[in-house]
């Protein structure tokens, strides 16, 4: 799908020619706000009347379309979208409002929208022009994405139009400059998240480990990333025993993918992003039930986010060094597959007793995390659809966050809050470690039912050494069964924007 075209113009909102002009509005405010003041005058008080009548209340996700008469305004349609209460207004509300606007535009058969953000002045989160525009554009870019590449014809209930262009209306040159900066960031970050969503939506027979490697290599060529891809033989050479153990049951060739972005000083230690890349998880010999097994194509959502994030970081030319690490394989049963009870030797040298072949994510991540040592990263952040237990703990509303460094955990939480990809911490107390004690090997790969998300993270912790590390369990958040105003159901792209924002904030801090 083509990118959304974004234009910033300096203009009086009444003079903006567009098929649809979007006007955000706060709940309970009975007077027109921002650009709506002048437009209300142009349409003979029509906005005031509908606000006073309570026909539009500005509740979050609410919207109402208005048709000015000929000559009243340069815009053919005005779309009021609700933000909820002013004092509760967050970037997430703005993302939702623009998502709603995009959906309405699709329904109305309008492919281009103009947006005024004037009403957002004094929004409670103290959003400046930059933050408001960034959230608005992220919401629009994410909302406009759709996964249609495997359909040969349009469906009956398909929207009448696809939104392909957005014009942001600025009040002056300073605001225009901030809107342009916001547009550049939103385009990179939300565009990268859409790439991750496309990858995670692709079925297992399309998005194979070698497909992920090809995507990485293409990114390398287009954006000047150094990309290294290891095949089975090279993995053997590097002693990636845990990754190879998972891959041995599959005919499909595994890949270990390394992407290096160098935007910082030669001697600066990089940030490491690690993503689980299980392109299909059947469970292996410990096979999963058939129900919803088809969804296990998104078990490479962590990997997709790493690919997306590296593209965004390179596009933005952030002044920092970043390395992305992706262990990619299928997890299938076969005559060659690993069996419960097997013991394998990991890249770090630790031996692992495989009690359950469906706990494969931690095996491949163990090798990737240990491999990261050679880059001497300043910090490691991994993302993995690792445990069903995180859905039991947090549902679909938060990423499970764990790690070995309190400051990094706080930092990642704050980053997640900013981008609307909330994380919630779970403890890695020593007591939990005993659940992984093995009779025959150094560690076993499952710790039983209790605290399944924590014991999975504890397993990973055994392979990171002293490097500050945080782990995101995205099993509950990488896929949605229902839609948000700015996200269709299906792959969410989580945590691509979190990754990008983390790297951006680290790059800015130096
Ligand atoms: N990929 C799954 C986790 C998962 C579950 C992701 C639901 C998305 C939605 C992972 O590999 C897995 O199978 N985990 C097991 C671990 C268990 C065997 C200890 C699980 O959560 O059941
Ligand atoms: Mn599994
Ligand atoms: Zn899995």
Q: Per-residue DSSP letters for 263-296?
A: -S-TTPPPEEEEE-EEEEE--TTSPPPSTTGGGG
Which domain, by its residues, includes 44? 5-192
| Residues 282 and 175 reside in one and the same domain | no
Ligand nearest to the CA of residue 277, numbered in listed order: 3
pLDDT for residue 300: 99
For 84-120, what is each residue's pLDDT tens digit? 999 999 999 999 999 999 999 999 999 999 999 999 9
Do 139 and 153 contact (CB within 8 A), yes or no?
no
* Same domain (yes/no): 188, 223: no
pLDDT at res. 3: 82
Q: Whose CA is nearest to atom 9 of ligand 1?
A: 475
Q: If you take atom 7 of ligand 1, which residue's CA is the nearest one?
A: 388
CATH number assigned to the domain comprising residue 436: 3.40.630.10
Q: Taking Cα atoms as reference points, which of 187, 210, 198 lies closest to residue 279?
A: 210
Helix (H) or strand (E) holding 81: strand 78-82
Average pLDDT of span 169-190: 98
Per-residue pLDDT, averaged over 128-148, amounts to 97
What mean pLDDT value characterizes the chain?
97
* Atom 3 of ligand 1, nearest CA residue: 387
Question: Ligand 2 mean position to 227 CA, how many Å?
Answer: 27
Q: Is residue 140 part of a domain?
A: yes
Q: Ligand 3 centre from 151 Cα, in Å?
A: 27
Q: What is the CA radius of gyration of the chain?
A: 24
Whether 414 and 391 map to the same domain: the answer is yes
Instruction: Pick the last residue of a domain from 164, 192, 220.
Output: 192
Query: Under a CB-based contact definition with an 8 Å cutoff, are residues 447 and 458 in contact?
Result: yes
Question: Do residues 273 and 417 share a domain?
Answer: yes
Is ligand 1 within 6 A of the CB of residue 452?
A: yes
Domain-ending residue, one of 192, 214, 236? 192
Asked, for residue 197, whether it belongs to a domain, the answer is no
Average pLDDT for residues 366-395, to the nearest whole number?
Answer: 98
The candidate with the shortest Cα–Cα distance to 347, out of 371, 328, 372, is: 371
% of the chain exceeding 90 in pLDDT = 96
Query: Considering the domain boundaries, does residue 479 fall inside one?
Result: yes
Contacts of 199 (CB under 8 A, 6+ apart): 207, 212, 215, 300, 303, 304, 307, 308, 491
| Residue 489 annotated to the active site | no
pTM over 0.95: yes
Q: What is the pLDDT of residue 373?
A: 98
Write the DSSP assignment of 289-309 as a string of letters: PSTTGGGGGGGGHHHHHHHHH
Phi, psi of 124 (to 5 degrees): -65, -35
Q: Scanning the structure block, which residue is given the tokens 């491999």?
A: 371
Q: What is the dihedral of CA 492, 496, 499, 502, to 10 degrees?
A: -80
- Mutate which of 243, 475, 476, 481 for ligand 1? The one with the most ligand atoms within 8 Å of its CB, which is 475
The answer to whether residue 230 scores a pLDDT higher than 70 is yes
Q: How confident is the model at residue 157 (pLDDT cuts 50, 70, 90)?
A: confident
Average pLDDT of span 310-315: 98
- Tell whether 230 is covered by a domain: yes
Q: For ligand 1, is residue 246 a contact (CB within 6 Å)? A: no
Whether the CB-CB separation of 168 and 7 falls below 8 Å is answered with yes
Give strand ranges (E) for 395-451. 399-403, 423-425, 443-444
**How many of the other CB atoms lie within 10 Å of CB of 277?**
34
Q: Which atom of ligand 1 is nearest to the CA of 452?
A: 19
Beta-carbon neighbour count of residue 76 at 10 Å?
A: 15
Residue 510 has pLDDT above 90, yes or no: no
Ligand 1 site, residue 450, Cβ cutoff 6 A: no
| pLDDT, tens digit (0-9, with 9 covering 90-100), for 28-37 | 999 999 999 9
37 φ, ψ (degrees, to nearest 5): -60, -50
For residue 299 and ligand 1, the question of a CB distance below 6 A is answered with yes
Atom of ligand 1 minimally distant from the CA of 288 = 13
330 CB within 6 A, ligand 1:
no
Instruction: Look at residue 250 in the predicted model and tell me its pLDDT.
Output: 98
Given a cut of 60, is residue 456 above it in pLDDT?
yes
Q: Are residues 188 and 209 both part of a single domain?
A: no
- Determine whether the shortest distance from the Cβ of 358 to ligand 1 is under 6 A: yes
Would you say residue 252 lies in a domain? yes
pLDDT score of 159: 84
Q: 167 in ligand 1 pocket by Cβ < 6 Å?
A: no
Pairing of strands 63-66, 78-82: antiparallel
Q: Are residues 237 and 305 in the same domain?
A: yes
Given 150, 166, 192, the domain boundary residue is 192
pLDDT digits (tens, 9 = 90+) for 169-179: 999 999 999 99
Q: How far apart are CA 33 and CA 25, in angstroms?
A: 7
Q: Answer yes or no: is 429 within a domain.
A: yes
Same domain, 182 and 269: no
- Counting the structural domains of the chain, the total is 2
Is 397 domain-assigned?
Answer: yes
Confidence of residue 1 (pLDDT cuts 50, 70, 90): low
Question: Which one-letter DSSP state was computed for residue 436?
Answer: G
In this structure, what token pair is assigned to residue 388?
Answer: 């069903």
How far, in Å, from the CA of 275 to the mean position of ligand 2?
A: 15
Annotated active-site residue 362? The verdict is: yes
- The pLDDT confidence band at residue 123, using thresholds 50, 70 and 90, is confident
In this prediction, residue 237 carries a pLDDT of 98
Residue 25 to residues 30, 60, 84, 260, 464, Cα–Cα distance (Å):
10, 9, 8, 44, 48
Asked if 265 and 401 sit in the same domain, the reply is: yes
Give the integer Cα–Cα distance in Å for 338 and 350. Answer: 17
CATH label of the domain that carries residue 134: 3.40.220.10
Q: What share of the chain has pLDDT > 70, as a percent?
A: 100
CB 282 within 8 A of CB 387: no
Same domain, 405 and 458: yes
Q: 281 CB under 6 A from ligand 1?
A: yes
Residues 414 and 501 in one domain: yes
Is there a single domain that holds both residue 234 and residue 135?
no
Catalytic member of 96, 362, 418, 506: 362
Catalytic residue selected from 57, 269, 288, 461: 288
pLDDT digits (tens, 9 = 90+) for 322-348: 999 999 999 999 999 999 999 999 999
Does residue 304 share a domain with residue 355?
yes
């Amino acid at each position: 799908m083509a990118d959304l075209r974004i234009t910033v113009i300096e203009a009086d909102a009444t003079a903006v020619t567009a098929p649809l002009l979007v006007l955000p509005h706060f709940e309970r405010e009975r007077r027109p706000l921002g650009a709506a003041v002048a437009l209300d005058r142009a349409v003979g008080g029509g906005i005031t009347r509908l606000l006073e009548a309570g026909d539009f209340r500005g509740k979050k996700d609410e919207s109402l379309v208005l048709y000015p008469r000929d000559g009243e305004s340069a815009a053919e349609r005005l779309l009021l979208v609700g933000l909820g209460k002013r004092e509760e207004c967050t970037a997430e509300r703005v993302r939702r409002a623009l998502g709603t606007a995009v959906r309405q535009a699709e329904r109305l058969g309008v492919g281009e929208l103009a947006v005024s953000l004037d009403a957002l002045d004094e929004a409670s989160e103290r959003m400046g022009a930059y933050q408001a525009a960034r959230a608005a554009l992220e919401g629009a870019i994410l909302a406009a994405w759709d996964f249609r590449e495997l359909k040969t014809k349009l469906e009956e209930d398909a929207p009448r139009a696809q939104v392909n262009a957005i014009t942001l209306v600025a009040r002056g040159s300073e605001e225009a400059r901030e809107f342009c900066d916001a547009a550049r960031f939103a385009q990179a970050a939300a565009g990268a998240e859409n790439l991750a969503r496309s990858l995670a939506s692709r079925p297992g027979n399309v998005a194979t480990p070698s497909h992920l490697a090809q995507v990485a290599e293409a990114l390398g060529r287009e954006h000047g990333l150094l990309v290294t891809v290891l095949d089975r033989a090279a993995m053997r050479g590097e002693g990636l025993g845990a990754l190879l153990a998972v891959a041995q049951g599959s005919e499909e060739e595994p890949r270990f993918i390394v992407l290096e972005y160098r935007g910082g000083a030669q001697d600066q230690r990089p940030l490491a992003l690690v993503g689980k890349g299980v392109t299909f998880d059947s469970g292996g010999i410990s096979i999963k039930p058939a129900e919803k097994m088809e969804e296990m194509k998104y078990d490479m959502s962590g990997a997709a986010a790493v690919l997306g994030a590296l593209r965004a970081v390179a596009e933005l030319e952030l002044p920092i060094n970043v390395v992305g690490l992706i262990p990619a394989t299928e997890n299938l049963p076969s005559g060659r597959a690993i069996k419960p009870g097997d013991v394998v030797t990991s890249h770090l040298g630790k031996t692992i007793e495989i009690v359950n072949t469906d706990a494969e994510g931690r095996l491949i991540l163990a090798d990737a995390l240990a491999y990261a040592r050679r880059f001497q990263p300043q910090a490691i952040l991994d993302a993995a659809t690792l445990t069903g237990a995180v859905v039991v703990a947090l549902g679909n509303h938060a990423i499970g966050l764990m790690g070995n460094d309190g400051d990094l955990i706080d930092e990642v939480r704050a980053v997640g809050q900013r981008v609307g990809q909330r994380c919630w911490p779970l403890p890695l107390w020593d007591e939990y470690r005993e659940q992984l004690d093995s009779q025959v090997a150094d560690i076993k790969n499952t710790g039983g039912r209790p605290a399944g998300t924590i014991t999975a993270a504890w397993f990973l912790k055994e392979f990171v050494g002293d490097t500050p590390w945080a782990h995101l369990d995205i099993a509950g958040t990488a896929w949605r069964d229902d839609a948000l105003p700015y996200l269709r159901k299906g792959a969410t792209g989580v945590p691509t924007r979190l990754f990008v924002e983390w790297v951006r904030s680290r790059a800015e801090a130096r």
